[in-house]
Structure 1
Amino acid sequence: MDEPSSAGAEIVVVGSVNLDLVVRVETLPHAGETVLATGYHEFVGGKGGNQAVAAARLGRRVAFVGHVGTDQAASTVRSALADEGVDVTLLTPVDGPTGRAFVQVDDEAENQIIVVGGANGALSEADVAAAAPLLTGSPVVVAQLEVPLEAVVAAGRRTSGVFVLNPAPAQELPRELLALVDVLVVNEGEFEVVTGAPVSEEALTSSSLPERVVVTLGGRGALVRDGASVLSVGAPRVEVVDTTGAGDTFVGALAAALARDVPYADAVRWAVGAASLSTQALGATSGMPSAAEVDRLMSTSGS
């Protein structure tokens, strides 16, 4: 399909895109152990790519800022995102390989993931500066940490709307970056790395964190900070096949809801529902739902 125009983008994703190589196994191997696969698939992934697809599939106009390599995977990745309706005008090639992720998923839906950054590591402040009109004109900008930190900081500086940061892979964040974040989205492990403390109401409402923080809890839902208050949001029950893309679905869905001016707590509830639905299929993007599917789940679950 033709690449859509970036004009009027509701969400801009600044981040990584990979080709995911997904192996299904009965049990995850221990160190030194060889196991036989029960299935193999290839999907377009990367945290940025996943989040962009999630938001686009939920009906939002999404543009992407990032890099692919000069290999065959680059064409596969660009075409897959464009087919989802994501504007890939600023997803540009650089010398070297497109990013890869090697994913193992067992019969209990647990996974292990190794990421090779490839072209994602070349994203620079200059690339972000070239996207400045897009960033300043979009209601929501989303970033992660699979690209260089200086590019993420540059994106935050140029965002006029809501800046959503998913600091994964987790690391301690500079104060300069935290000061730019409107909504911080982390899982329990990432929260401890970012803050140096386990999840608690006291740690969640620390003055060093943004006013709005979401800690995703997998099948238990999410904890939500909104200023001085903390809210617990439960997750609807679904049959889980693969949790690989649930966190990215949550971020994309939260961005989609915020772009529609949905109140913050309600946006989190809706995103929890979308993430729950995404776990019902193998692969990071295969189970990502439409807005109608999320609405139907929320109405039948009483959320």
Structure 2
Amino acid sequence: MSSIPEHCPGVESESAGKESACQGCPNQSICASGAAKGPDPGIALVQQRLSSVKYKILVLSGKGGVGKSTFTSLLARGLASDINRNVGILDIDICGPSIPRIMGVLNEQVHQSGSGWSPVVHQSGSGWSPVYVEENLAVMSIGFLLGSPDDAVIWRGPKKNGMIRQFLSEVDWGNLDYLVIDTPPGTSDEHLSATQYLLGGSQSGSGTVGAVVVTTPQEVALLDVRKELDFCKKVNLPVIGIVENMSGFICPKCKVQSEIFPPSKIGGGAEGMAKEYGVPFLGRLPLDPRLGKSCDSGEHFLESLPESPAAKSLTQILDGLISSVENKMETD
């Protein structure tokens, strides 16, 4: 698998750092000097660390504001509702980490484990112990490393990529059944780094790594999400399925459904896009103001309102996702 930009000559090329496409790249001088030639040693470190993680799921969307972090939290909590599963959430949205708040662990701190030195936090320790929400549900986010939730992370691409590499190679997850990875919008640095390390440079992809793509029904969102599906195709990342979030509003009192973000009659919303690209459509999650409130307060929505339309919809999505992951990804 290649996770470099389309016109990049590649770090192993003799013209690395010397092509016109290299102009403006922050790694141009490193590539030109030859220091970047050869395989990234971080790939082996990540593969070794995550060898005890059975399934890795990236939650993606080319569009911001479609509810990736909300869906990530619901997916992880749903998976962890089976006490026999060990689940982790990795938040690689470096500039906008919202998982700590959504999971109710905003003011927690991570601790170093083992021995060594971390170039990011400048403390002794070869790894981090994640924050545990439940005995079988752990969380890691840069939000735990900030002095305040209001602190801005103002980093260029290489430093963000280094942080992602540390998260993937230095967090002591233990044995996990599922690692759910929340990503920022787009198809750029964070996504390229994550797929490169998770897929381990494989040209054919990996049966234990896949993506769930989240969108809202309207065409303006689908336009960006199509780019995400194209990204997955180009980097050989299998798509487990598409979820349509904010798919109608069901009034908690009268139960009448309204379409807040109506899908295009021509495109058919997320389900139509799934057919267009030949990927599974996992289902729809309705808007529910109580879900937004539970995310703000860090509450367990699925436990608080198990009979809500959103909770029932998630159960159906979860069943389809687990079936796809455990029955299909293993055979890929």
TM-score by length of 2: 0.40
Structure possessing the higher radius of gyration over alpha carbons: 2
| Structure of higher RCO (CA pairs closer than 8 Å, 6+ residues apart) | 2
TM-score by length of 1: 0.42
